[in-house]
Each structure stands twice: as structure tokens, then as C-alpha cells.
Chains A and B, each alone.
Chain A
Amino acid sequence: MNLDFSDDQKMLRDQARRFLDEKSPLKAARKILESDAPYDRALYKEIAELGWLGAAIPESYGGLGLGYLELCVIAEELGRAIAPVPVSSSIYLCAEAILRAGSEAQKQAYLPKLASGEIVGTLALAEKAGVPRPDRLETRLEGGKLTGRKIAVPDAGGADIAVVAARAGSGVSLALVDLKGPGVARESERSVDSTLKVGGLGFSGAKAEALGPSGEGWTLLQTVLTRAAVLYGFEQLGGADAALAMARAYALERYAFGRQIASFQAIKHKLADMYCLIELARSNAYYAAWALSSDAAELPLAAAALRVSASEAFDFASKENIQTHGGMGFTWEADPHLLLRRQVQLRHVIGSPRAWKERLVAELERRNAA
């Protein structure tokens, strides 16, 4: 029985934590929140130099080829630090899609640049509010040209390339688009978490190459989202842990009625409940990490369970952290809202927990039928 990271992986996690602590990313996140910059370029560059972006990308494509467990521990720390960098869009989504679906030439062309941070990628799926469905997508890929409009695309403003889900013929295909080319319009969108900015992408005959076999886009997309859910889950776990730590520190420091507020049971029990949800999420996360790194048949179920568990933990912890801070927690100046915002972004970016609950039960039923 071994449901734990190795000593090397733990060392990597500690290094990542120390590095991000030093770079003071809460301040970094706030800076991005209060500016129009799409992300913190200096921090991203340093992260790239540390090799984090390429942790799970094979060496033959310019990565370190360590593996997904290493990427998981990095993800947890990025989440803890609310790092304002497009690692998730570029690596969990875009690079992953290219790894799963791309031709050898596409992998050679894009992965080394994504791994080195030279370019940033993203993935565009949603077109309107509500759950995306393959038969309802309006973005089309025809004769190598893309037309349509995507919304709420993570890091749309900072990305250089995008994997786009589009209808092609009667099916769905994935298209790879250079966002700097003609026929692409970027639209800024306001969202709850502007430390990780989302945006719209309009395509009017933009040049695009197919990623993976035509008509198999939807299946490939589900694979990519499932795999990304594990990494997002680790970010959510790190964020939830940060919220508990912040609430704990404040509860010990703040006095009311002549005593530390941490001595009131209403506060103690709130924090104990946070701890329970976080430990449940952590356990689900470790299992999903195992499933991801070993390509286990359990991955779809494990990833959905983590997505649900980690979303719940971060939602509860980020809200109750604010509650623990009282009036101070509702201010722009104090940090708790940074976690609340990131929580919302991570909760919705690859589909809300409601949708993942549906996937989870569908997967249970599929297994039961088999």
C-alpha cells in the first residue's frame, strides 16, 4: 500500500512552496487583479526556467519528462499561492490536448515552446451559458478555416495558440489556431477572478489545423478535460488549504470579548469542518493522481470524484475564511477575497461540480452495466 508521494516528489513540493512564498504571489496576484496585464510574465518566466511547465512533457518534446505526479505537487502549490500565471491553460489543457491528439509534427512544433514558456496556449470550448453539447456547437471548422465565437476562455488575452472545439461535418473536431494570425479577435470579458483573466475569442475564417482525427474531437476533449480535472483538483486543494491556514492565523490573532476568536466553538468547529473537507479532497486527490499517472481505468471516476470533492472544499473554505475575518474579510484590501475569486475561476473553468457529479454517476452506471 502506497498512497503517498515519493520523497523526491515531496522535495519538489517543498521547493515549489518555498519559491512561491518568496516571490510573494499573493501580492503578485493582487497586482494582476488591479491591472490589465493578462498574467505575471516575470513569474511565468521563472517558473518555466525551473522546468515546472515541462514536468510531465516528455524529454523528446522539450520537457523534463518527470511525470504527472510531479505536475500534481506543483499544481497544489500554484493553487496555494493563487499564482497569477497561465500554467493551467497552457499545460493542463493545451499541451495535454496536443500530447493526446497531436501529430508528431504538431508535438514537435508546439510542445517545446509550451514547455519553455516561449508561447502560452489555451483551450476554447464554451459558447454560451449552460453545459456545452457536441450537437449544439456553432463554431465551425471548414477547409482549414475557423468561424465562430467562444466565451470564458481561460487566459484568452495572454495566449498565443488555442485548441478550439468546433463542428466539422457532422462531428466535432479539435482545431489548433494561432491567435496572433488574421481572422482572430480577442474580446476582454469581466469575470470574478481577474487574477486569471478569461476572455472571448472571435474567429472569422482564421487559419486552423486539425488536431487529431476529424470527428473524434469530442472524445478527445473529454479525455483532456478528465486529465486536467486532476491537476485543477490539486490547485483547488492547495487553495482550500491556504484558506484554512489564513482563517486559522486570523482566528488566533483576533480578539473579541476578551479572548481569541479561535477559542469560540462556532469558529473552532467551522475550521474543523474545513479540515475534514480538505482531508477528504486530499485523499481523493492522491487517488486521482495515482489514476492519472498510471493511466488506470479508474481515471474518469477518480477525476470526477476529485473535481467534486475539491470544488466543495475550496468553496466552503474560501467562504468561511471570509466569515472568520468579519468585516475585514469583506474588504478589497485584505487577502481572503483573492482566494474566493480563484475558487470561482477553478470551479467553473472545466465545468462546474454539478456537471462533474453528472459525469461521476454516469460513469458509475456505465461500470455497473458493463
Chain B
Amino acid sequence: MDFDDTPEEAAFRAEVKAFLAAKAPKYAEPWEGEETTRDDVYLKRARGWQAEKAAAGYAGITWPKEFGGRGGKPMEQVVFGQEEGKYDLPTQPFLIGLGMCMQTLMAHGTPDLIKEHVGPALRGEKIWCQLFSEPIAGSDLAGIKTRSERKGDEWIVNGQKVWNSGAHYADWGILVTRSDPSVPKHKGLTFFIVDMKSPGLEPRPIKQISGGAHFNEVYFTDVRIPDRQRLGAPGEGWKVALTTLMNERLAVTSFRDVSVDVPHLLRLARSIDLETGPAIENAAVREKIADFYVRSQGLKFTNYRTLTALSRGETPGPQSSIGKVVSAPKTQQIATLGMDLADMAGGLLDGDLAPLRAAFSQTFLSAPGTRIAGGTDEILRNIIAERVLGLPGDIRVDKDVPYKELPTGR
């Protein structure tokens, strides 16, 4: 056991460090005033950074060279991520596009489509979003109803998507639709990529608990999609969507969210007073800090175990499936403890009054979303139970029933 880089990894890390030292600081400057809330300012900087990375060959590190990637190893991606993470860089707008949409496109798209879209996405010219969830179905994604109908070389799409992160500024989206309601639900889906500027396509931002509006409802009214933008055969959209979902579990983070962990809690506990002195001297507080610490460390070293497999060129074990289902509730609980310690000031969101510039209360408001986005806690437990532990699937009442005959509660 050791935590050292292999010689190749060390050489790559040195190269990455030099690149970051030269280029990253400009993009990692602190945000000031209006910049902190304006999407356009944020996106400009984010696109700039993505373009720098692409120009230097650090975008799409593991992607095939023929698609514009570097053709590198998973460990190189990891090393780059570790070093990049040391700077506060605006990378989130590309997570969905590069982490999920392009993966899906590369797996199921025609060579022409791949050629057309991968480059611009890698260079930060085009931002992508995911148009999956609907008012009628989220966890049960195969239950969506947005309708697609073929007309010659085009498909006409009508319906509504919802909770789509970044759809209001995205250039392109990946879209699951229902092309045939007369067959059971998994069999009647068709998958597309869609230009967000298409006539009849209208994103409307939705205000979230946290006050921001990073996700949207997206309306489709007679939106025309050329057949060449279809991924997979008609009726086989579920298979394509599964590729996205598999990648989603690895890519999930919310847009520009603050998040608190043990170091924040320690800083707070050292600085805040309780009945008999600093919180850090309070036994109940110490116990909780220890509980959170072992979870955070456990996740960190679970990640190391996965990296060990990648570094050896092996397929990682299923242990990484515990990531979000452990970390999201933990973050929520840490936020609550931090607010409890602030006592009567616990609910304040005012950065000048609440500790650590209100990091705990802000996290408190974003944490519920993390437990839902990209698979809810409950769905992730189902996945561990069924795919890792091999327990039976839930008893289904919707399997062999034509979609249009399924009860919807509406």
C-alpha cells in the first residue's frame, strides 16, 4: 500500500501543475459584487477556462483521439481533476455536457453527429443540458410522456420537461420522448439531441428553495427535430438513456452550490461559544464531529480504492455506489449542526452575521436538492440492493401494460 503516483502519473501531474500554475489563476479569481449572481458573467469565465483546457489537450482526457480527446488513461483524468480542484475554477456548466451528454452521444451517435458536436462541447463553445424528467415522472424515467411523432425526415415533439439544470442557457440538449404509447413503457421511447434554439422550445427558469433559479421547466410545442438527430433506433431510447444515467451517477453536483464538510465544522466549533466555552470543547459536539469525520474519510478512501483499480487498469468494484447516498445526507446533517451551534443566529443567511459567511445555512438550503438530483436516496438504495447485493427487483405492476393504459394518478 502506498499513495504515490506511478512514474508516468508523476510526470503527468508535474505537467498539469505547470499548466495550471500558468493559466488557472486568472479564471479562479474571487467573484465580486454582481458577478456572484449573474449567469452571463459566470458563463463567460467558465467558457474561457474550458477553451484553455481544450487548447492544451486537457479536455476529454480519456476520450478517443478521433473524437478530439486526448486518448489518455482514467488515472490521468483523475490526476487532472485533483490538481484542478485545488483552484476554485468555474467548471460546473460543462459537467452535464461532458460528463453525460457527450458520453451518450459517443456511445450511440452517428460518426457525423459525433464529429459535429464533440469538438464544440470540449472547447466550451456549446453548453449542453439534460431534458429527461417530467412533471409526470422522474425516478420512473421510463414513464415520461412528452410525445414525438415522425413526419417524413422530421419528428414533431410536444410536451413538457422539468427540473432541467441550465436549460435556460444551454445550446443543446439530450431528450427522451415517447414515440409509441401503445406498447409497454420501456419499449416506446425515442432519444434525440435537440437545438435549444429550435422554434417552439421554451425554457422557463424555476425558482428553487435556495432562491436561485438554476433549473427550468421546458415546453415543447410542435418542435421539429431532424431524424438525423435521433440516437438509437426509434423505440429504443431507453437503452440510450441508460448510458446517460450510468454516467450521471458519477457526474452529479449542483450548480455553484456551496457545501460544508468537517473542516468548516471544525473552524466553526473553534470560533463559537456555547454555555461553558468554545463549542470544540463540548463533548456532544466532539462526538458528532467524529461521526462526520469517519464518513468523510471513509468516502475519501473509498475513492482511493476505486482509483487503485483504475491505476492498475482494472474495473473498480461496486464500492463507489455508496458515494452520493452517504455524502448528500451527511452534508445536510453537517449544515444542521453548524446552524444549531450558532444558536439563535442559526437561521441567518446574512453573510456578515452568520458564521463562515453563512455557509451552513446556505448549504442547508441546497442540500435537499442533492439528495434528489441524479437519483434520490431511495432510488440509490434500490440500486445498491439490487445490483450490488443481488436482491430481487421491486414487484412491478407496469411491466407488460401498454403505456397508455398505466394509471398516472392524474
Residue positions of A touching B, CB distance < 8 A: 1-5, 69, 244, 248, 251-252, 259-260, 262-263, 265, 267-269, 271-273, 275-276, 279-284, 286-287, 289-290, 293-294, 304-305, 308-309, 312, 354, 356-358, 360-361, 364-365, 368
B39 to chain A, nearest CB (A): 36
Residues of A within 8 A of B302 (CB): 279-280, 282-283
| 8 A-B residue pairings within 8 Å (CB atoms) | A248-B391, A275-B389, A279-B302, A283-B299, A284-B298, A305-B298, A309-B298, A361-B290
For B291-317 the 0/1 string (1 means CB < 8 A from A) is: 101110111111011011101000000
| CB-based contact B378/A269 at 8 Å | yes
Q: Does B62 contact A (CB under 8 A)?
A: no
Q: Does B386 contact A (CB under 8 A)?
A: yes
Q: Does B260 contact A (CB under 8 A)?
A: no
B292 to chain A, nearest CB (A): 11
Residue of A nearest to B290 (CB): A357
Q: How far is the CA of A302 from the CA of B64 in the complex (A)?
A: 40
Q: How far is the CA of A356 from the CA of B291 in the complex (A)?
A: 11
Q: How far is the CA of A172 from the CA of B7 in the complex (A)?
A: 48
Residues of B within 8 A of A287 (CB): 297, 301, 304
| CB-based contact B322/A275 at 8 Å | yes
| CB-based contact A262/B392 at 8 Å | yes
A352 to chain B, nearest CB (A): 11
Q: How far is the CA of A279 from the CA of B298 in the complex (A)?
A: 8
Q: How far is the CA of A275 from the CA of B395 in the complex (A)?
A: 22
| CB-based contact B297/A248 at 8 Å | no
Residues of B within 8 A of A271 (CB): 385, 389, 391
| CB-based contact A1/B3 at 8 Å | yes
Q: How far is the CA of A219 from the CA of B280 in the complex (A)?
A: 24
Q: How far is the CA of A251 from the CA of B386 in the complex (A)?
A: 13
B342 to chain A, nearest CB (A): 20
Q: Does B274 contact A (CB under 8 A)?
A: no
| CB-based contact A272/B381 at 8 Å | yes
| CB-based contact B298/A283 at 8 Å | yes
Q: Does B1 contact A (CB under 8 A)?
A: yes
Q: Does B208 contact A (CB under 8 A)?
A: no
Residues of B within 8 A of A280 (CB): 294-295, 298-299, 302, 322, 326
| Interface size of B in residues (CB-CB distance below 8 Å) | 50
Residues of A within 8 A of B300 (CB): 283
Q: How far is the CA of A368 from the CA of B263 in the complex (A)?
A: 11
The stretch from B103-111, B215-223, B281-289 touching chain A is: B281-289
Given contacts A3-B304, A265-B394, A309-B298, contact A360 B388 (CB under 8 A): no
Residues of B within 8 A of A361 (CB): 280, 286, 289-290, 293
Given contacts A269-B378, A276-B322, A286-B1, contact A357 B286 (CB under 8 A): yes
Given contacts A279-B319, A305-B297, A357-B287, contact A268 B386 (CB under 8 A): yes
| CB-based contact B286/A1 at 8 Å | no
Q: How far is the CA of A283 from the CA of B308 in the complex (A)?
A: 12
Residues of B within 8 A of A1 (CB): 3-5, 9, 75, 304, 307-308, 311
Given contact pairs A357-B287, A368-B270, a sample of 19 additional A-B residue pairs in the complex whose CB atoms are under 8 Å apart? A1-B75, A1-B308, A2-B1, A3-B304, A3-B307, A263-B391, A265-B394, A268-B386, A269-B381, A269-B382, A269-B385, A280-B295, A280-B302, A282-B319, A283-B297, A290-B3, A360-B293, A364-B266, A365-B280
Residues of A within 8 A of B382 (CB): 265, 268-269, 272
B397 to chain A, nearest CB (A): 13
| CB-based contact A283/B319 at 8 Å | yes
Q: How far is the CA of A214 from the CA of B319 in the complex (A)?
A: 47
Residues of B within 8 A of A267 (CB): 391
| CB-based contact A360/B290 at 8 Å | yes
Q: Does B153 contact A (CB under 8 A)?
A: no
Residues of A within 8 A of B308 (CB): 1-4
Nearest 7 pairs of A and B residues by beta carbon: A280-B298, A357-B290, A268-B385, A283-B301, A272-B384, A272-B381, A3-B304
Residues of B within 8 A of A4 (CB): 1, 305, 308-309
B63 to chain A, nearest CB (A): 22
Q: How far is the CA of A368 from the CA of B266 in the complex (A)?
A: 10
Q: How far is the CA of A69 from the CA of B1 in the complex (A)?
A: 9
Given contacts A2-B3, A276-B384, contact A283 B304 (CB under 8 A): yes
B316 to chain A, nearest CB (A): 11
